[in-house]
Structure 1
Amino acid sequence: MSGTKPKVLLLGQIDHAHASWGSLGDIAELVKPAATNRAEFIQECRDGNLDGVVAAYRTFGSVEITGLIDEELVGVLPKSLKYLAHCGAGYDQVDVHACSAREPPIRVSNVPTAVDDATADVNMFLIIGTLRNFNTSMLALREGKWRGQPPPALGHDPEGKVLGILGMGGIGRNLKKKAEAFGMKVIYHNRRKLSDELADGARYVSFDELLKESDVLSLNLPLNKNTRHIISRAEFAKMKDGVVIVNTARGAVIDEAALVEALDSGKVLSAGLDVFEEEPKIHPGLLRNPNVMLVPHMGTWTVETQTAMEEWAIENVRLALETGKLKSPVPEQADL
């Protein structure tokens, strides 16, 4: 009977939602690649070993096996593949344009809101830590120097500070509520102004106004060709002296070399970063600066959130097989 079932390919691994993944076996044949790197994976596809795969579930970490889902890879994936369920909110590892242009197209989904709460929590942790200048003394304490010798400059309270959110999607809106609980005033910039209901009192401003007015600038936008290095030297020059920068989106939305320059000059008081341009490699200028709080991409690093992400991505696969539609297709394919 297994030969009559559509095949579903697992790229990466299931860590939590084992029962839900196992239950897919009732309607599909679950397969894994034998490949351990990109060259082997491409050859496996060319040899026809994955023919018959209709849907693939992929994790962020599966890039170590396949490399990026780019034009080259899309060109060799089995023609039977119709659906790609990405277990993550950000999907910059997937070239959606190449997936759409293929005949037949590969429909891509992500888990757009499952990550909102956990990521915004880390966002707020970084905002408080950077404003209060905790990192310097945390480092000194481990070296047996109490707060530091000499003690660090006094930090700042979040109350009354202007938080500028660049990218007011689910994570940004979640962050807004958390920041307001600390007494912060929230402004935001998006490609499009939100409805009054979604903005919920946050003031919409132009990109330049966001740069000029923010005491704390939080980056919560997806990475794509239009947003890469959206914050660089020219943008830092427009900001307040002593601005705080926090990034939980993707590392490459900031020009890290320009950020290091701005930190060294004092233009940027401190930064809180969960993501980096060339992960896991960190710019040495960030590592040596005690005013930078560094977290190794742990925005969604909770049992509850990782489980919710896996369940959501598995549901995308199930709905694709049963109804031909995805629960959460990526916005770029809304018209497909």
Structure 2
Amino acid sequence: MATILVAFDTLDEGFERIPSDHTLIRPPHGRDFTQEELAALLPEADVLCSVFDIPVRADLIARGGKLRLIANYAVGYNNIDIDYARSRGITVTNTPHSVIAPTAELAMALLLSCSRRIVELDTMIRRSPGVKVAMGRTDRMGLPLAEKTLGIVGYGNIGEAVAMRCRAFGMKVIYYKRHRLSPQEEEAKGITYASLDELLRASDVVSLHTPYSPETHHLIGERELALMPAHAILINTARGAVVDEEALLRALQQGSITAAGLDVFEHNDCPLAELSSLPNVVMTPHVGTQTEDARLKMNHEMLENVARFLAGRTDISRVV
């Protein structure tokens, strides 16, 4: 029998996957456990169910003398001290499948909002209630997607899903990742490999889908932004610190690139205040998976990992 500590408030659906002989510890409905509460509860836990916005650092993990599994409710796991978990022999899982479609859809929503200046035009209308907005035939021109080039940085499951959707809009797709696909895979997917610098120079839209790590910290900085065409759009639904946000702010202010669609931000997902004053920025508060279907599927995927692990199975979404 195992004790399963759930760090965060979540849906009830999916917990039926956990056999009744295990003990579940969940926070009161409507709130997460605090770090202090987790530290007090962890000594008895065999499993910790964590979530992308709750830090699970070494000092917290160290409290779990019996801890065998950290099941993260997210595809990313930079909220967890992976190296320390590995050193303790603790398995870490994530939820890579249920996040693909909703995150790709949000990336498309940000892209379309930027390319057709939806937020800017909507704001114009709202500022003059009941009055027809005068628009010249060449005012506030948008960027059509057909026949334009999309550059995917980090061609994993979500990057591939975005590429598929953009190809339906008639876009050419190039990609960059550390380990290039085979020529056969590239041909089957209708994509072309480019180095990062080549991709930035050639793309009308750059969409970021790389995991966050020390190697990808500020992957897109002042130098990289300067390589992009002045009409280009940057989309980030990956992790905030993949982009140097100060450099991005300057590029947008100076017109080095045309627009940015951002769901994530460098400093604990709190955007720089100056971004809010720019009409060429569309922002959402880290809601890539904020749909009922996605949250339900993530719950099921996380808890299926727990149930399989406790049953001794190896067919889990293991990252460590």
Normalised by the size of structure 2, how large is the TM-score?
Answer: 0.91
Q: Is the Cα–Cα contact under 8 Å of residues 12 and 59 in structure 1 kept in the other structure?
A: yes
1:13 to 1, 9, 12: 9
Residue pair 1:33, 1:41 contacting (<8 A) in 2 also: no
Q: Deviations over 1:257-310 (max 9, x none)?
A: 111100011011011111111245221121000111111212111111111111
- Partners of 1:188 and 1:213 in 2: how far apart? 11
Comparing 148-157 and 111-120, the one that deviates more: 148-157
Q: Is the 8 A contact 1:137 1:148 kept in 2?
A: no
Equivalence map 1:5-154=2 (5 Å): 5-15=1-11, 18-32=12-26, 36-42=33-39, 44=40, 49-61=41-53, 63=54, 68-76=55-63, 78-102=64-88, 105-144=89-128, 152-154=139-141
Conserved? CA contact 1:140–1:147, under 8 Å: no
Contact 1:121 1:175 survives alignment (8 Å): yes
User: Does the 8 Å contact 1:214/1:240 carry over to 2?
Assistant: yes
Bigger shift: residues 19-28 or 287-296:
19-28
1:8 and 1:54 in contact (8 A); partners too:
yes
Question: Which residue in 2 is equivalent to 1:164?
Answer: 151
Q: What residue in structure 2 maps to residue 313 of structure 1?
A: 302
Runs of 4+ in structure 1 displaced over 3 angstroms?
Answer: 32-36, 49-52, 145-152, 195-199
> For the Cα contact (< 8 Å) 2:210–2:238, is it kept in 1?
yes
Q: Is structure 2 residue 244 aligned with structure 1 residue 248? A: no
> Could you tell me how far 1:325 is from its partner in structure 2?
3.1
3-state SS of 1:14 partner: coil
Output aligned runs, 1:177-256, within 5 Å: 177-196=164-183, 198-199=185-186, 200-256=189-245
In 1, the alpha carbon distance for the partners of 2:240 and 2:6 equals 27
- Count the aligned residue pairs: 312
Measured after TM superposition, the shift of residue 138 of structure 1 is: 1.1
Distance in 1 separating the partners of 2:106 and 2:286: 10
Residues 177-235 of structure 1 deviation map (CA, whole Å, 9 limit, x = unaligned): 10000011000000110234554121011111011111111011111111111101011
Q: Could you tell me how far apart the structure 2 residues matched to 1:70 and 1:147 are?
A: 55
Q: Can you give the 5+ residue segments of structure 1 that lack an aligned partner in the other structure?
A: none
Of the candidates 161, 164, 170, which is equivalent to residue 174 of structure 1? 161
Equivalent residue letter for 1:88: A
Indicate if the aligned counterparts of 2:17 and 2:307 stay in contact, CA closer than 8 A: no
Name the CA distance, whole Å, in 1 between partners of 2:302 and 2:219.
30
Distance in structure 2 (CA, Å) of the matches to 1:27 and 1:195: 47
3-state SS in 2 of match to 1:26: coil
Q: Secondary structure at the match of 1:268?
A: coil
1:133 and 1:265 map into 2 onto residues whose CA distance is 18
Distance 1:259 1:220, change over 3 A: same
Residues 126 and 293 in structure 1, CA contact (< 8 A), matched pair in contact too: yes
C-alpha distance in 1 between matches for 2:42 and 2:108: 44
Kept in 2, the 8 Å contact 1:109–1:326? The answer is no
Structure 1 distance, partners of 2:106, 2:261, is 10
Q: Distance in 1 between matches of 2:80 and 2:184?
A: 32
**Contact kept in structure 1, 2:240 and 2:269, CA below 8 Å:** no
Q: Residue 138 of structure 1 contacts residue 147 of structure 1 at CA under 8 Å; is this kept in 2?
A: no
Q: Indicate if the aligned counterparts of 2:8 and 2:27 stay in contact, CA closer than 8 A.
A: no
- What is the rounded CA distance, in whole Å, between the counterparts of 1:247 and 1:260 in structure 2? 14
State the alpha-carbon separation in 1 of the partners of residues 247 and 57 from structure 2. Answer: 28
Shift of 1:19: 4.4
Report deviation, 1:150.
Answer: 6.8
CA distance in 2, matches of 1:235, 1:25: 51
Q: Is the alpha carbon distance of 1:39 and 1:201 closer, same or farther for their aligned partners in structure 2, counting shifts above 3 Å? A: same
Q: How many Å separate the matches in 2 of 1:23 and 1:124?
A: 33
The 1:137/1:53 distance shift into structure 2, 3 A limit, reads: same
- State the secondary structure of the residue aligned to 2:213: coil
Alignment check: 8 A CA contact 1:232 1:258 kept: yes
CA contact (8 A) 1:231 1:253 kept: yes
